[in-house]
Structure 1
Amino acid sequence: MTVTAPPVPAGVVPSGRRRPAGRRPRRANGGQARYGYFFVGGYTILLLAFGLLPTLYAIYLAFTRNGSFAGFDNFVRVFNDYRFLPAVEHVAIYVVLWLISLIVFVVLLALIVHAIRVRWLGNSARFLFYIPGAIAGASSVLLWLFLLDPTVSPASGLLKAMGFSSLVNVVAVGNLPVVFTVIAFWAGAGGWIVIMYGALNNISTDVMEAARIDGAGPVQTALHIQLPMLTKWISYMGIMSLAAGTQLFVEPKILSEATKNVVPEDYSLNQLSYLYAFRQNDFSGSAAISLVLLVVALGLSTIFIFRGRLFDRD
């Protein structure tokens, strides 16, 4: 015989005492929520001060001139500048090379490191990949100035075998997209390899075991299981790297000063925007270039978001 307890009337707690009317039970995680608001609030303040407000001010400058509404005149003037299209071409070639090399080699290296079963060897590999990312951007460019100079570089034999006899030959304008891609990959790929490695660790061991039982080899497992499950992370890497790639400034700026303008001062769009603002005293034109970069970056990021199903729930 089964005895069923009668239902507890609404408003009565298990001890038999009635809860005061209109009083809700205290949430156990109320303190955590307050701490969450505190940390998010700090970020929100910084985002408004150094992100949203400067963007709104740039939009204002881009559509005005000397305090008067100018419509699209600033954009037309910038587009007609003989330096604008070459700068667009330089940045576009660099971003394409940078994204392709990053996505291909980061994912490949992460898969290789994840496949290493010797613990100390895998840890050492991740550590070595991550070290270059600890060097600041300007410092890494200065280091590469030394490495790319055939007269002093430890890789001088390789550079001379490729036909380069001086730093000026190496940093010729036609070689710069590849040079900047190598520098950016060396400095930034290690952190993404560690992130991808962590994403690979999140794949269920049951799924991996089922693939092995079905006879899938390492290549088949990578193509049909690991890569599809890394899609969101690859999209996220693409968005962040795209944002960084379009802001090319430090590398050509330092190379330009080190080579006495062998690398043009207006090589990238950010450099051209800098010249507009601080050489020509034309902040409206500088803001117009910045706004063009923002719109292009947002458009391309949107493609990554939807093609990579970044916000889809599993």
Structure 2
Amino acid sequence: MNRQRAAWWFLAPALVVLGIFFLLPVVAALGLSLTDYDLYALADIRHLRFVALDNYWDLLHQHKFWSALGHTFYFVLVGVPLSIMVSLGAALLLNSPLVRFKTVFRTALFAPVVTTVVAVAVVWRYIFNTKYGLLNYVLGEVGIHPIDWLGDPHWAMPSIIVFAVWKNFGYNMIIFLAGLQAIPKDLYEAARIDGASALQQFRHITLPMLGPTLLMVGILTVSGYFQLFAEPYVMTEGGPLQSTTSVLYLMYDEGFKWWNFGAASAVAFLLFVIMFVVTAVMLRLGRRGGMA
């Protein structure tokens, strides 16, 4: 009993911090989602009314919510596989014995993760610029007409995904690199002795051994793309024609543009439910496939 009591005393500071800065805000946001808390209630708490699940019901009947949810799933379905492939490819290159100065390349490829989004967005907006952008200049050299990358609803989403993949792939790359370095070298030596090609080694050794790492990276990446906000905010501000508005961007608009804190909290918890369901499905599929 004394050891258990001592353990709780050691855990107490961390539990207090989590309770104050995580649990309490979550409970408060859940309470707000059941009210019509808006600018008038902010000025005078007597204007606050309990509306139960009306905020959730209203959101489910709003076209803008379903549109934002569709955009978010587009980000997830396109961005997640692309991000994982780029991250795994970079990790395989860095793990290859043919690459020299690995520390330099690892630092350079990880640098975008710790770089401020607003700072690099300025560079990427110049790259995507219709008249003076580097990308359209290269396309012009091969006879392709300039494309309005951020002003055309058909190209704005792919442009943001490319930017988001470049910005965030370094984090997954480090995780994959750690997983690759944990694979026993004896397996590759035995496979080479048996005459296995590089592709066969990747298929029958690397991928199965990276199963748990792939599952973890997949869950983290899916969660990140469901919460995509900074990239569309700094690149297109949700446009053109609201074609890049994500669920989190909608929550920002409701809460900090229109001051509907109750509706914004409802958006947050609906997004949480969706992410919880998707994560649970991924874990179940991962267990069935032997990845967990």
TM-score by length of structure 2 reads: 0.82
> Alignment partner of 2:134: what SS?
coil
Residue 273 of structure 1 is matched in structure 2 by 251
C-alpha distance after superposition, 1:107-161 (max 9, x if no partner): 23322332233432x4443233222223122222222111111433333323445
Structure-2 separation of matches of 1:202 and 1:134: 25
Residue 146 of structure 2 is matched in structure 1 by 164
Larger radius of gyration: 1
CA drift at 1:53: 1.9
Change (3 A) 1:37 1:199: farther
Change (3 A) 1:42 1:102: farther
Structure-2 separation of matches of 1:197 and 1:72: 46
Does 2:283 align with 1:305? yes
1:125 maps to a residue whose letter is F
Q: Which runs of 5+ in 2 are unaligned?
A: 38-47
Q: Which runs of 5+ in 1 are unaligned?
A: 1-23, 28-32
| Higher alpha-carbon deviation: 185-194 or 111-120 | 111-120
2:127 maps to a residue whose letter is L
Residue 296 of structure 1 is matched in structure 2 by 274
Residue 151 of structure 1 is matched in structure 2 by 131
C-alpha distance after superposition, 1:227-266 (max 9, x if no partner): 1111111111122122221122222222345x9x536398
Q: Which of 47, 70, 75 pairs up with 1:89?
A: 70
Between Structure 1 and Structure 2, the one with more helix by share is 2
Structure-1 separation of matches of 2:96 and 2:244: 44
Change (3 A) 1:116 1:156: farther
> Alignment partner of 1:119: what SS?
coil
Residue 254 of structure 1 is matched in structure 2 by 234
CA drift at 1:68: 4.6
Q: Would the aligned equivalents of 2:35 and 2:50 in 1 still touch at CA under 8 Å?
A: yes
Residue 99 of structure 1 is matched in structure 2 by 80
Change (3 A) 1:267 1:189: same
Q: Which of 161, 169, 181 pairs up with 1:189?
A: 169
| Higher alpha-carbon deviation: 126-135 or 91-100 | 126-135
1:298 maps to a residue whose letter is F
1:22-37 alignment runs, 5 A limit: none
CA drift at 1:282: 1.7
Residue 53 of structure 1 is matched in structure 2 by 24
C-alpha distance after superposition, 1:76-120 (max 9, x if no partner): 111222311111111110111111102222223322332233432
Residue 77 of structure 1 is matched in structure 2 by 58
CA drift at 1:42: 5.4
C-alpha distance after superposition, 1:44-81 (max 9, x if no partner): 44433332222222221222335554332111111222
Q: How many aligned positions are there?
A: 276
Structure-2 separation of matches of 1:222 and 1:118: 18
| Higher alpha-carbon deviation: 137-146 or 43-52 | 43-52
TM-score by length of structure 1 reads: 0.76
* Alignment RMSD (CA, Å): 3.1
Residue 219 of structure 1 is matched in structure 2 by 199
Change (3 A) 1:269 1:194: same
Change (3 A) 1:222 1:172: same
Residue 262 of structure 2 is matched in structure 1 by 284
Structure-2 separation of matches of 1:75 and 1:103: 33
| Higher alpha-carbon deviation: 74-83 or 41-50 | 41-50
> Alignment partner of 1:103: what SS?
helix
